[in-house]
Each structure stands twice: as structure tokens, then as C-alpha cells.
Structure 1
């Protein structure tokens, strides 16, 4: 599994703008070419930096760099709207927005997931696990409010919303509007938790 070191590196302070350019170049190339055909050389060229610059920042190469880019792209806490239903609606909206923005990137990554253990490890640690954690936080917060009983929720609960959103955006091209989000939350996600939806 790829993990990004947090140990400070001595030397000239790193330029945040350059870092963003490198991470953006990596994501753009994966969207265009796929993960397997995206190389460190190509990322360095697209970002206008040298290859040694990339290896100084990401010593383990492409997997570490891509993990960093995915983490930054998907950063953000679980929304707290004051209710379980509101939190779930907000999460579905975030998932929908992210996928609309990154549909080509998602396809560029998914084509290699079954054949690249390296990429699978990166995706599991920095996309899947973090997405599940957001749903877990929402459920735990709801239990603390007294909206449902405390207890473990299957990871399938978190996976379900993303799978439905992904299918609609990339395969069926059906709407992922507010009405869709409400139907998904009220008729699928809340019933799984044995909660009768209450409109805010």
C-alpha cells in the first residue's frame, strides 16, 4: 500500500503553485491517456518541471504522486447539516459534483484497476476508504444526535450511493439532479438504516 511521508524535507521551501501544477498535470494526463500510459516523464513535461523535482517530492514515484493528487482533489470533511437526511443529501451532491468534474479521470483510472495492483492499492486507500469514512462519520453523528441506534454499518452502505451515481453519470446518462438525490436518500439509503425519511 502506498503511503505518503509527512517527514519534512530540508532545503528551499516548496512552491505550492508548482505542486498544484504537478498534481494537476498528473490528473489531466490520466484522464487523457489512462493510468498505465501516464509516466513520470510525461507528468514532468506537462508541468514544466524536471523529473528529479518529482522524485524529490514523491520518492516512490507515480503511485505516491497519484495518491497525493487524489487526496487533495477529494479533500473535505463530511457535511454537517444538522440531520441525517440532510447530511446524506449533501454527500450525494458532493459525489455527483466530483464525478461530473472528473468523469474522464475516473474512466482513465478504472480501466486499469483490475490489472494494476499498484493502482488498486492507491484507489482503495485514498478514494474508497476515505469515501466510506465520510459515510461512517455521518452515521456516527446521527447516532450521537439520537436519530438512530449506534452500531456498525456495512461498508456496502457507503458504496451504494457512489455506485448508483457512477452508473447514472457514466453509463445510463440519466439525471442526477435534486429529485434523484432525494429518491436515493429517501427510498434507498434511509430505509437501509430503518429510518423513515423526515423532510427538513
Structure 2
């Protein structure tokens, strides 16, 4: 007779996790990364520190998760148009929620001083959208739409560099017109592709 696996520990509570992440956002926005305390985050979430440490290893992992919680989901689009795929990727950096930019600014500022924060922020926040951009460009190269000699990694790094610089210096994400301009006036020319602005775009 086959042994059935028995669940170990308490089941995940999505509502509690959201409450903790929202509380982390509040505390970081009010106090900054360095001054944020796990005790205060737990108090505002109506729970104890043990509930936080069951889910996250410490403050760094929790605050990075809170920053990620406010970001748009990362997807690798395939709309049949290089321009449209790039626009969708770049829209990830458009942030209508002011709190998202403030929390991310705190994380990025701390990352410049703390290697642990830098590593966590790069892995969770930085790499996924940059990887999506690179995948879209590599796919266009494979289709023959883009010259294979283009520096894919360099071009894919332009948007994150612009977006994160704006977050750190101005505490705001990209707006929609800037995101579209980055595609039409920077990425596509760098890739040697006509923007197709107002039309179907490059295929």
C-alpha cells in the first residue's frame, strides 16, 4: 500500500502574507530600509515575528519580497511584433503606484551599500524583467529580424538602467510616454529596426 505524504507545518495563509507584505511597505515608506524593524512590521500585520520568519529568512528577504509584491508580473510576450513585445516588456517598469517607487528606491539605495541586499534585489527584482527583454531580442535575432552582431546584453540593459536610475534619483517609475519612447527612439534604433510607430511594428 502506497504511503500518502502528510503535510508538515501550518498551511500557507495568503491573507496573512499579503498583510505582512503591505505592512512592510508601510514601514519602509515611513522609516526607510535601515530603520525598518521586523517587530513593527509584525505588529502592523497583526501577527508575531515567528510568522514572518517562517516565510522569510530576515528583513532583507522580506523587504525585497514587498518591493516585488508591488511590481507588475513579468511575462515574455509573443505578439508577433518586435515593437509590441518590447513595449510590453518595458511597461513592466511603468509604476502608477507611488509606494512601489519609494520602496524600490529604498531597496536600491541600500543595495549600493549592502551586498546581501544587492544580491537579493538583483535576483528577485532586477533579473526577471531584464531576462524577458533579452529573450524578446534574442527571439528576433533567431527570426532574422535583427542582425546577430547586435550587443544583445548591452541593449537589454538600457531600460533597467534608465528605470532604476529614475527610481533612485526621483523616486518614481517610468511613465507610459517615456516607456514607449525608449522602445521607439532607443531600443529599436539600437537594434537597427524601424520603429513602425503608429503601425504594426517590426515583425
Match of 2:37 among 36, 39, 49: 39
Matched, 1:63 2:60: yes
CA distance in 1, matches of 2:171, 2:37: 32
Measure how far apart 1:11 and its partner are: 1.9
Runs of 4 or more consecutive aligned structure 1 residues displaced over 6 Å after TM superposition: none
CA contact (8 A) 1:31 1:106 kept: no
Structure 1 residue runs without a partner (length 5+): 1-7
Q: Residues 109-167 of structure 1: CA distance to partner in whole angstroms, max 9, x if unpaired?
A: 23322222221111111111112111112113323444224578443323312333455
Matched, 1:184 2:188: no
In structure 1, the residue matched to 2:114 is 116
Q: So what's the TM-score if we normalise by structure 1? A: 0.79
Q: Residues 85-130 of structure 1: CA distance to partner in whole angstroms, max 9, x if unpaired?
A: 1111122223113675512112222332222222111111111111
Q: So what's the TM-score if we normalise by structure 2? A: 0.78
In structure 2, the residue matched to 1:159 is 157
Three-state SS of the structure 2 residue aligned to 1:97 is coil
CA contact (8 A) 2:147 2:191 kept: no
Which structure shows the higher helix fraction? 1
Please provide the CA RMSD for this pair.
2.9
| Count of aligned positions | 190
Structure 2 residue runs without a partner (length 5+): 1-5
Structure showing greater radius of gyration is 2
Instruction: Identify if the C-alpha distance between structure 1 residues 97 and 68 changes in structure 2 by more than 3 Å, giving closer, same or farther.
Output: closer
